[in-house]
Structure 1
Amino acid sequence: MNATPALRQEPDRPRTCFVIGPIGDSYAVHGSPEHEAYEHHLGIFEQVIVPACERYGITAVRADRIAHAGDINDQICRHVIESDLVIADVSGGNPNVMYELGLRHITGKATVHIGEAGQLPFDIASIRTIRYQRARSHLAGARKEIEIALEAGLRDGFELLTPARVLRGLQTVDGPSTSDESGNAEDEDAPGLLDDFAAIDDGLDEMTADMEAITQTIETIGALTEKSNTEMLDLTQANAPMSARLAAVARYAQSISAPAGELNTVAGAFAERMVSLDSGVRAALGIIEVTPPDERGEGAEEFLQQLMALEETAQEGLEHLRFFGTSASGMGRMSRHLRKPVKDISDAVHRMTTAITCMGEWAGKARALARGATE
């Protein structure tokens, strides 16, 4: 029989795994969504996670199985931070789960992600996640994948995720040491705080360039629209035949076709950058939050200001875009020639609205941190 890998641990300290994930309501009416969620996630815990952990002598526990009396919120936080291992079921992006997972990521300790296929949140899509389906055969496969992940992690060490790397960079930026807790030298190529901030800063600069391109394209469409409105007014006053008005609409549609397509393309790029940057920005904001204001440095303050300024610019651009979207929607019913550019503009509005909602959360947090630094 192969030797069982062991967690690196303090003497006589039990090997523990805290399971983060949706729990549901065991007291809900039988057959209700809440009770079905309870049964499903209990099954994942008992049939997948517990057996995988037991193979390596690890005791798995979740919040509703904590034996000791006490404040449940305090107990959960302690388990999230102190447990040797955390397995997080991120299915559906439950807000409590994501908060606890973010707290765990900051510690840099061993963490394994699992999640139901089709239910994974986009903001941690870049992190390897063991996916499962509800069929019994798939659950067995998920258990095997967890066992493989545990074996590799216990043998080779678990990879540090971005928040932990940022924090590690912050903790070592003032000191000469390059050793980890075990005394081993850290990877010289591993990015530190400034590297991560620089990567985020580059991404935000690209988003600013996207906004400038969007603004210019909106202005182009606006000028073409104004020109078309003037032409249509002249035709109406001259009591021109409908064929002449239709020809004018067709010319207008052709003139805005290219800029409308470009607008949609740039809005798509803007939204994609938002998705790719979201986890890093939120992690950076979390690092700034736990750093005393007098120790943050100018770079952190500039970062907060950049988030606030970018959100203001984006909101202004979105207002103009929404105006054109509304106007174009009405025009789209006038002629088939306008349907394609109208669709491009409408798609751009949708993409920008979704992205700027997320950006507003960044800016809101940045404002709160900036205010806290001046109080």
Structure 2
Amino acid sequence: MNTSQILRQESDQPRRCFVVGPIGDQHAAHGSPEREAYEHHLGIFEQVIAPACEKYGISALRADSIAHAGDINEQICRHVVESELVVADVSGGNPNVMYELGLRHITGKPTIHIGETGQLPFDIASIRTIRYQRSRSHLAGARKEIENALEAGLRDGFELLTPARVLRGLDSGEGSASASGADDENEGDEDSPGLLDDFAVIEDGLDDMSADLEAFTKTIETIAVLTEQSATEMTDLDQANAPMSARLAGVVRYAETIGAPAGELRTVAAAFAERMVTLDSGVRAALALIETTPPDERGEGAKEFLEQLMSLDEGAQGGLAQIGFFGTSVGTMVRMSRYLRKPVKDISAAVDDMTSAMARMGEWAAKARELSGDATA
């Protein structure tokens, strides 16, 4: 009985392999780049990936072969997260492929990377990638390398990549040897810079969001103090029956005074919202991974991550109350004078950005509280 037959017998269930990679356009004109890309990557699937998987009784599937009706993006994400194995062709660093690969990495499930020589993205350079060239002999060699990786992984287990290791509280220096058979001199490669940005910067990104939130709150307090001072001045002018020119001069002084902090408020809010967009998919994927991991197996890394999300949301609540006040008051301010239009526009934009971002942050925290409750139940 050969090795592939033994591995088939030891498998607990039929394995599925979802193939992540550029697809191209089957219906594009012959000779067009889109049609050539389709034919090339279909050839890689049919000549390299599918035969290698079939050797070990693994069924390979591409996104364009999904038969079920429904939202194709949702189905792709489901296959990426749930399939027992993923083979990812990272040639050219296609953005969709890199996003899907990021989701896969954080699950910790087996993933094999392949890519065309000269077309590999630099930001996953530290991860073992099987390289191929567009010739029959090189494609046969790539298929053999995939078969070797599968044999080693099915026999010895696939090693977690850095994002999943961190969330599960593992020391990245431990673990079994990778399917590539890396030697001691390559030890530590998984911790070197260059992993997918969404996951490499989650922790730092959340810290930056905390700093943005603190800066936003302080700037609001500054504007509130200046507004109170201006209100006192306007009250004094009213009581003195000052002419409209004097009152207008007071409004102009107020507009000039809050101009700089209003602009800073908009800048900070925009940075906060941008970080939210960048981190959202990674944070949600991390939460999904934690949810599928038994509470007693999560480790300190997961606990600290959940606490950070809850702490960030708690710090946002005071700022949210202040934002609500500004949101209702800016409409009245802009009617006072045209000189207030610019600072009010900046404040309004900041309010919109922060309100939307904080709502998403609240969703993170709600899930974090739910998972923390699971762990203490």
Q: Shift in Å at residue 300 of structure 1? A: 2.4
2:26–2:38 Cα contact (<8 Å) kept: no
Give 3-state SS (helix, strand or coil) of 2:190's partner.
coil
Q: 1:82 aligns with which of 82, 85, 96?
A: 85
Q: Could you say what secondary structure the match of 1:190 adopts? A: helix
Q: How far off its partner does 1:202 sit?
A: 3.3
User: Could you say if the C-alpha distance between residues 188 and 360 of structure 1 is closer, same or farther in structure 2, counting changes exceeding 3 Å?
Assistant: same
1:268: Cα distance to partner? Answer: 2.2
1:167 aligns with 2:160: no
Deviation at 1:252, TM superposition (A): 0.9
Deviation per residue, 1:283-342 (Å, 9 max, x gap): 432332233212323342232122112113223313312321331232112212111111
Gaps of at least 5 residues in structure 1 are 1-8, 22-39, 114-125, 129-145
2:119 is matched with none
* Alpha-carbon distance between aligned partners in 2 of 1:343 and 1:292, rounded to the nearest angstrom: 48
SS at match of 1:334: coil
Which residue of the other structure, out of 190, 209, 212, is the alignment partner of 1:210? 212
- Alpha-carbon distance change, 82 to 298 in structure 1, aligned in 2, over 3 angstroms: closer
- Offset of 1:62 from its aligned partner? 4.9
- Map Cα deviations across residues 180-228 of structure 1 (whole Å, 9 max, x no partner): 1343346413229xx9999533332222222122111111111111222
Stretch of structure 1 that moved more, 350-359 or 51-60: 51-60
**Alignment CA distance shift 1:50-1:319 (3 Å):** farther
Q: Aligned pair count?
A: 308
Query: By how many angstroms is 1:46 displaced?
Result: 8.6
Which residue of structure 2 lines up, in the alignment, with residue 344 of structure 1?
A: 346
Q: How does 1:34-183 map to 2 (within 5 A)?
A: 43=27, 48-49=37-38, 51-55=40-44, 57-58=47-48, 61-62=61-62, 65=65, 80-82=83-85, 84-85=87-88, 102-103=103-104, 106=107, 107-110=109-112, 154=142, 164-168=161-165, 170=168, 173=171, 176-177=174-175, 179-183=177-181
**Superposition RMSD in Å:** 5.1
Q: State the 1:275 CA deviation.
A: 3.3
1:346-369 CA-to-partner distances (Å, cap 9, x unmatched) read 121122123223322321221221
Whole-Å separation in 2 of the counterparts to 1:217 and 1:67: 53
In structure 2, how many angstroms separate the alpha carbons of the residues matched to 1:298 and 1:231?
Answer: 55
Give 1:281's aligned residue: 283
d(CA) in 2 for partners of 1:263 and 1:347? 9
Instruction: Show the counterpart of 1:184.
Output: 182
Instruction: Identify the residue that residue 369 of structure 1 maps to in structure 2.
Output: 371
Q: Deviations 1:223-249 (Å, cap 9, x if unpaired)? A: 111222222233234332211211111
Contact preservation (8 Å) 1:80, 1:86: no
Instruction: Give 1:264 deviation, angstroms.
Output: 1.4
Specify every segment of 5 or more residues in structure 2 that has no aligned partner in the other structure, as ranges: 9-15, 29-33, 51-59, 69-74, 116-121, 125-132, 150-159
1:325–1:312 CA distance, 2 compared to 1 (3 A): same
Does structure 1 retain, via aligned residues, the 8 Å contact 2:220–2:322?
yes
Q: Give the 3 Å change call, closer, same or farther, for CA 282–55 of structure 1 in structure 2.
A: closer
Which of 244, 248, 251 in structure 2 is aligned with 1:249? 251
Residue type at the aligned position of 2:291: E
Which string of whole-angstrom CA distances, capped at 9 and with x for unpartnered residues, describes residues 161-183 of structure 1? Answer: xx943225548639844511343
TM-score, normalization: structure 2? 0.62
Mapped to 1, the partners of 2:225 and 2:327 lie a distance apart of: 15
Query: What does residue 336 of structure 2 align with?
Result: 334
Identity %: 49
Letter in structure 2 aligned against 1:213: A
Asked if 2 retains the 8 angstrom alpha-carbon contact of 1:264 and 1:344, the reply is yes
Question: Could you list the per-position Cα deviations for residues 78-113 of structure 1 after superposition, in whole angstroms to 9, with x for gaps in the alignment?
Answer: 9833354579xxx999xxxx8998357632524799
Counterpart CA distance in 2 for 1:92 and 1:265 is 27
Residues 20, 333 of structure 1: CA spacing in aligned structure 2 closer, same or farther, 3 A cutoff? farther
Cα contact 1:261–1:341 (8 A) shared by 2: yes
User: Greater shift after overlay, 46-55 or 242-251?
Assistant: 46-55
Alpha-carbon shift at residue 41 of structure 1 (Å)? 7.7
Compared CA separation, residues 213 and 63, structure 1 to 2 (3 A) = closer
